[in-house]
């Protein structure tokens, strides 16, 4: 059965790109090493071979110009996919992303359409040190006008990437570099979309809700299994899209579990978990039996040595520990 | 260069449109009728008009914070421009962009820009689109001398050359980056020296001479249309008013004699002298243009004045495009 076919996280991405390019001649890819080399993480393997140099464009290492290329092409009618290789490099192109791509439509009174997909890889775990390991998704959630997507399963990678390309807005599509070749799962062969802005309840539970995304969503599932041994039944919500945020799914879960932990790989201070926590207390304060817990990276750049990096990045054990702390909190007034 | 009488008069008309629009806008700002920042294009009219005369309506351009002239020259609608500057619902951006984001996508004018140099990569993207779809449309990036010290300019210029894109880079060298003389911020006198660094031809042109600008740009545009890649055109020009607003003489950052000397080379008056002396048209014809356009500007102001401000429900409209393609 085709439904049982398994692809890796990165293969699912490449397949989405291939299908979108096949379906629409206005879709092209551009970026450093995306053409002849197929991307440093094999994200675009075989694309140039299939679609040629015209539609799989190797550019100079010029992040601002790569994004600008995408913006100008998008406003003029194409549907570009432009790649920034490492999420850390989005900062090199921050003006073009945040001040130009995200704002053109609004500044132009709604007349401009910018169907631009920016792809990149985030996250630590490869001893890539502080400039190649960051999780900067919160920065772009703070900018109105750009959608932020961070999938955790191969199925979602493919469906969300197709949806991002077809969306008429700028999207920042983040792959976690630790899962590219290692995480596999069932992926249908046909072209399909997973809607942007819709969270997924990846594990049902009744005692506590864990809200997460990206690789941490996978680690949260593992944490839930550890907690199950202790008799704690955790529900796991994989946000999949951070902006727009599916707060309804989170609130619906919290109203039944009454306890919630937000887990992410980014630095805790000012992280996107803070926004999720704030919205939970705005929408479900009376349902909470404990303060919203957070599990995230400490306030430091990502360290190089594996000895420290392993301590830095939240994993299933630290997520489970965070959940236990939230569970141990006595009922307010109790 | 052989130009028809119609071309002469069209370029003259376009420059006068810019001049009158800008002076009216400056006056309205001084009267407190115009919110926000206002970077006037007066003095540089020959650049926008000479360049746009070499373009077709379906060619693209990106502009700068000093962008009204580029939109007028591309054929922009004066009432909608004036309304936008006043923040009115009938403006080009529904009042949500203002002076620094004015645009008309139907004319290929992809926007003024509040960030120095930021429009240049976007023009390159539009140029990419032209080549991608096999069109002979070109894309023009307008920018100032100071923008050539910005990374985005260098990245975009290099990329356009590396990818052989149909882009014309037009530098309006007006000698100042805001209030700082350019000779203090770069050691080269001519921005065009930078062209060789990207492997493209560069040409210096008198930016106060609309025909010279037109001639140089036409060559660059034709080169781009033939698929021979980008050109850098550097127009030496001068802004008659302040970086922001209308005040000119008496500010310490540039000598009064310098302002006066450049004003003696006024791009409109010198062009008029040429038109009359060469017998292309009479003084009366030119005067009639001024009178007619003064009326048009007055009408634009009335339109803007009488237009409503946007409704509150417009605050959150247009952040995203709602309908995704299937």
Instruction: Give Cα separations from A14 to A11, A157, B84 (angstroms).
Output: 5, 9, 44
pLDDT higher than threshold 90 for residue B325: no
Provide, as residue numbers in chain B, all residues whose Cβ is less than 8 Å from the Cβ of A164. none
Distance from the Cα of B287 to chain A's closest Cα (Å) equals: 35
Distance from CA of A260 to the nearest CA of B (A): 30
Token digits for A113? 């359409």
Contact B122 A54 (CB under 8 A): no
Which CATH number fits the domain that encloses residue B217?
A: 3.40.50.970
Mean pLDDT to the nearest integer, B300-323: 94
What is the C-alpha to C-alpha distance for residues A153 and B44, in angstroms, rounded to an integer?
A: 56
User: CA-to-CA distance for A327 and A313, rounded, in angstroms?
Assistant: 22
Residues 140-179 of B with CB under 8 A from A: 151-152, 155-156, 158-159, 162-163
Which two three-digit tokens encode residue B264? Answer: 């003696």
**Averaged confidence pLDDT in chain B:** 95
Q: H or E element: which one contains B171?
A: strand B167-173
CA angle A44, A48, A52 (to 5 degrees): 155
Task: Answer whether A256's CB lies under 8 Å from A231's CB.
Answer: no
Strands A147-149 and B176-177: unpaired
Name every chain B residue with its beta carbon within 8 A of the beta carbon of A95. 115, 118, 152
Average pLDDT over residues B29-43: 92
- Out of A69, A80, A109, closest to residue B121 by CB: A69
* Intrachain domains A2-186 and A200-328 with the same fold: yes
Measured between alpha carbons, how far is A209 from A294 in angstroms, rounded to an integer?
A: 12
**Does pLDDT of B245 surpass 90?**
no
Query: Are residues B128 and A69, on separate chains, in Cβ contact within 8 Å?
Result: yes
Active site residue A176: no
| Confidence (pLDDT) at B252 | 80
- B323 part of a folded domain: no
DSSP H helices, chain A, are 9-23, 47-55, 63-75, 94, 104-107, 137-141, 154-166, 214-229, 247-257, 272-284, 306-312, 316-328
Tell me the backbone φ, ψ of residue A221, rounded to 5 degrees.
-65, -40
The Cα–Cα gap between A59 and A299 comes to: 35
Name the residue facing A72 among B93, B110, B320 (closest C-beta). Answer: B110
Helix (H) or strand (E) holding B52: helix B45-53
Closest chain B CA to residue A60: B159
Distance CA(A117)–CA(A14), nearest Å, equals 14
The fraction of chain B above a pLDDT of 90, given in percent, is 91
Q: CB neighbours of B252 closer than 8 A, spacing ≥ 6?
A: none
- Work out the pLDDT band at B250, boundaries 50, 70, 90: low
Q: Is the pLDDT of residue A333 over 80?
A: no
Q: Collect all residues with Cβ–Cβ distance below 8 Å to A198 and sequence separation of at least 6.
A: A240, A241, A246, A249
Residue written as tokens 């309908």?
A: B323
Question: What's the confidence (pLDDT) of residue B323?
Answer: 63
Using one digit for the tens of pLDDT, what is the confidence trace for A98-142?
Answer: 999 999 999 999 999 999 999 999 999 999 999 999 999 999 999
Interface residue of B63, B122, B142 to substitute, partner A, most A CBs within 10 Å: B122
Tell me which fold the domain A2-186 belongs to.
Answer: Rossmann fold (3.40.50)
- Residue A260 half-sphere exposure toward CB, CA atoms < 13 A: 27
**Quick check: bond before B55 cis, omega within 30?**
no
Q: Enumerate the residues of chain A whose CB falls inside 8 A of the CB of residue B323.
A: 168
B49 in any annotated domain: yes
Which residue is catalytic, options A132, A142, A264, A317? A132
Asked if B120 has any chain A CB less than 8 Å from its own CB, the reply is yes
Q: Three-class SS of residue B37?
A: coil
Measured in degrees and rounded to the nearest 5, phi and psi for residue A61 equal -75, 85
Interstrand relation of A234-238 and A200-203 (parallel, antiparallel or unpaired)? antiparallel
A144 contact residues in B (CB cutoff 8 A):
319
Q: DSSP secondary structure string, B50-110?
A: HHHHTS-TT-EEE--SS-HHHHHHHT--HHHHHHHHTT-TTSTTTTSS-GGG--BGGGTB-
Q: Do B122 and A72 touch (CB under 8 A)?
A: yes
pLDDT, residue A330, reads: 85
Tokens of A56: 């799989």
B323 contacts chain A (CB < 8 A): yes
pLDDT in tens, A180-203: 999 999 999 999 999 999 999 999
For residues A179 and A7, the answer to whether their CB atoms sit within 8 Å is: no
**Is the CB of residue B66 less than 8 Å from the CB of residue B41?**
yes
- Residue-range definition of the domain harbouring residue B69: 5-309
**Is B83 within a domain?**
yes
B244 inside domain: yes
The distance of B257 to chain A (nearest Cα, Å) reads 38
Q: Does B320 touch chain A (CB under 8 A)?
A: yes
Could B129 and A71 be called an inter-chain contact, meaning their C-beta atoms sit closer than 8 Å?
Answer: no
Tell me what the pLDDT averaged over chain A comes to. Answer: 96
For residues A210 and A294, give the distance between their C-alpha atoms in angstroms, rounded to a whole number. 9
Q: Which residues of A touch B133 (CB under 8 A)?
A: 77-78
**Rounded mean pLDDT of B159-168?**
98
- Mean pLDDT value of segment A54-58: 98
Indicate the number of domains in chain B: 1
Torsion of CA B31, B37, B43, B45, to 10 degrees: -110
Looking at the complex, does the CB of residue B126 fall below 8 Å from at least one CB of chain A?
A: yes
Out of B97, B318, B324, whose CB is closest to A167?
B324
Question: Which residues of B, range 31-90, sit inside 8 Å of A by Cβ?
Answer: 60, 62
Q: What is the CATH number of domain A200-328?
A: 3.40.50.920
pTM above 0.80, yes or no: yes
Give me B10's structure tokens: 């069209």
CB within 8 Å: A99 and B114: yes
Kind plus residue range of the DSSP H or E element containing B6: helix B5-30
Angle between helices A47-55 and A9-23 (to 10 degrees): 40
- Is some CB atom of chain A closer than 8 A to the CB atom of B324? yes
Nearest chain B residue to A114 by CA distance is: B321
- CA separation for the pair B242, B144 (Å, rounded): 15
Task: Kindly list the domain boundaries of chain A, sorted by start residue.
Answer: 2-186, 200-328
pLDDT tens string B48-88: 999 999 999 999 999 999 999 999 999 999 999 999 999 99
Q: What is the pLDDT of residues B255-282, one digit of tens each?
A: 989 999 999 999 999 999 999 999 999 9
Q: Is A286 helix (H, G, I), strand (E, B) or coil?
A: helix
Across the interface, whether the CB atoms of B159 and A110 are under 8 A apart is answered: no
**Whole-number Å distance between alpha carbons of A75 and A91:** 22
Are the CB atoms for A39 and A83 separated by under 8 Å? yes
A-chain CB neighbours of B143 within 8 Å are none
**Closest Cα to residue B165, out of B216, B120, B212?**
B120
Q: Which of A62, A99, A166 sits opposite B159 (nearest CB)?
A: A62
User: A–B: how many Cβ contacts below 8 A?
Assistant: 154
Instruction: Classify A151 as helix, strand or coil.
Output: coil
B95 to A64: CB separation less than 8 angstroms, yes or no = no
Whether ipTM tops 0.85, in short, is: yes
Cα diameter, chain B? 62
Contact between A129 and B147 (Cβ < 8 Å): no
Which one, of A1, A326, A46, lies nearest residue A188 by Cα? A1
Q: Which helix (H) or strand (E) holds B46?
A: helix B45-53
pLDDT of residue A15: 98
Work out the burial of residue B228: count CB atoms within 10 Å of its CB; fewer than 13 is exposed, 13-18 middle, 19 or more buried.
middle
Give CA–CA dist A193/A187, Å, rounded: 12
Q: Are B166 and B140 in contact (CB under 8 A)?
A: no
Do B324 and A163 lie within an 8 Å CB cutoff? yes
Which pLDDT band holds residue B249 (cuts at 50, 70, 90)? Answer: low
Q: Is B118 on the interface with A (CB under 8 A)?
A: yes
């Amino acid at each position: 059965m085709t439904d049982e076919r398994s692809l890796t996280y990165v293969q699912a991405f490449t397949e989405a790109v291939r299908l979108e390019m096949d379906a629409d001649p206005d879709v092209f890819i551009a970026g450093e090493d995306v053409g002849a080399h197929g991307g440093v993480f094999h994200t675009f393997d075989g694309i140039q071979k299939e679609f040629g140099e015209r539609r799989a464009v190797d550019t100079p290492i010029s992040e601002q110009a790569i994004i600008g290329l995408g913006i100008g092409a998008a406003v003029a009618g194409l549907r570009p996919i432009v790649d920034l290789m490492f999420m850390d490099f989005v900062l090199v192109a921050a003006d073009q992303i945040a001040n130009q791509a995200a704002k053109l439509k609004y500044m132009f009174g709604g007349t401009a359409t910018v169907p631009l997909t920016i792809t990149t890889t985030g996250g630590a775990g490869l001893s890539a040190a502080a400039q190649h390991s960051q999780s900067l998704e919160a920065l772009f959630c703070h900018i109105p006008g750009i959608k932020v997507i961070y999938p955790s399963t191969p199925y979602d990678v493919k469906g969300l990437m197709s949806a991002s390309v077809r969306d008429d807005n700028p999207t920042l599509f983040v792959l976690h570099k630790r899962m590219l070749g290692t995480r596999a799962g069932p992926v249908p062969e046909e072209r399909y979309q997973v809607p942007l802005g819709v969270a997924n309840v990846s594990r049902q539970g009744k005692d506590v809700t864990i809200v997460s995304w990206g690789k941490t969503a996978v680690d949260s599932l593992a944490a839930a299994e550890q907690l199950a041994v202790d008799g704690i039944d955790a529900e796991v919500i994989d946000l999949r899209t951070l902006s727009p945020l599916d707060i309804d799914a989170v609130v619906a879960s919290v109203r039944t579990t009454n306890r919630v932990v937000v887990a992410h790989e980014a630095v805790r201070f000012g992280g996107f978990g803070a926004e999720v926590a704030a919205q939970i207390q705005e929408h479900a304060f009376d349902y909470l039996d404990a303060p919203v817990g957070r599990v995230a990276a400490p306030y430091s750049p990502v360290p190089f040595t594996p000895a420290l990096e392993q301590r830095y990045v939240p994993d299933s054990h630290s997520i489970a520990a965070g959940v236990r702390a939230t569970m141990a909190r006595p009922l307010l007034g109790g | 260069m052989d130009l028809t009488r119609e071309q002469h008069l069209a370029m003259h008309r376009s420059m006068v449109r810019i001049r009158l629009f800008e002076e009216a806008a400056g006056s309205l700002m001084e009267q407190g009728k115009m919110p926000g920042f206002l970077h006037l294009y007066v003095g540089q009219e020959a650049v926008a008009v000479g360049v746009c005369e070499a373009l077709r309506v379906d060619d693209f351009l990106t502009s700068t914070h000093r962008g009204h002239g580029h939109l007028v020259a591309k054929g922009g609608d004066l009432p909608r421009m004036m309304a936008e500057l006043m923040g009115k619902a009938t403006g080009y951006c529904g009042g949500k962009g203002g002076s620094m984001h004015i645009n008309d996508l139907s004319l290929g004018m992809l926007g003024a820009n509040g960030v120095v140099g930021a429009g240049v990569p976007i023009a390159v993207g539009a140029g990419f689109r032209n080549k991608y779809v096999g069109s002979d449309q070109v894309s023009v990036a307008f920018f100032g001398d100071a923008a050539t010290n910005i990374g985005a300019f260098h990245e975009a210029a290099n990329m356009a050359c590396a990818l052989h894109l149909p882009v014309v880079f037009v530098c309006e060298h007006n000698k100042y980056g805001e209030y700082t003389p350019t000779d203090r911020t770069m050691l080269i006198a001519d921005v065009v020296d930078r062209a060789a660094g990207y492997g493209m031809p560069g040409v210096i042109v008198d930016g106060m001479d609309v025909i010279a600008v037109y001639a140089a740009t036409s060559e660059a545009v034709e080169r781009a249309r033939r698929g021979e890649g980008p050109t850098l055109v550097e127009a030496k020009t001068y802004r008659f008013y302040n970086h922001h607003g209308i005040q000119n003489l008496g500010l310490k950052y540039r000598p009064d004699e310098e302002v006066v000397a450049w004003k003696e080379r006024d791009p409109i008056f010198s062009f008029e002298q040429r038109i009359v002396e060469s017998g292309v048209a009479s003084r009366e014809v030119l005067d009639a243009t001024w009178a007619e356009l003064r009326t048009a500007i007055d009408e634009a102001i009335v339109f803007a004045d009488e237009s409503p401000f946007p409704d509150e429900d417009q605050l959150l409209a247009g952040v995203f495009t709602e309908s995704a393609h299937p």
